[in-house]
Amino acid sequence: MLYQTDKWKSKASRVFFEIFDCRTKAIDFTNYYKLSTNDSAVLILEVRLNEFGEM
């Protein structure tokens, strides 16, 4: 799961972008769209498939 956050990475500032099947694709997406800047950061969370619950 790919999120963009502020530079302090607070949960309140997270913006969801997409779910990828591998970390490499998420990093390529981040670089292509220049999601990481001086004022923002990117957070990539790994989740298990077929498990339901709150994040």
Domain ranges of the chain: 20-47
Q: In the chain, which residues have pLDDT < 70?
A: 51-55
The pLDDT value given to residue 9: 87
Other beta carbons within 10 angstroms of residue 25's beta carbon come to 12
Q: How many CA atoms lie within 13 A of 50 on its CB side?
A: 0
Q: How far apart are the first and last CA of the chain?
A: 11
Q: Are the CB atoms for 45 and 17 separated by under 8 Å?
A: no
Other beta carbons within 10 angstroms of residue 40's beta carbon come to 15
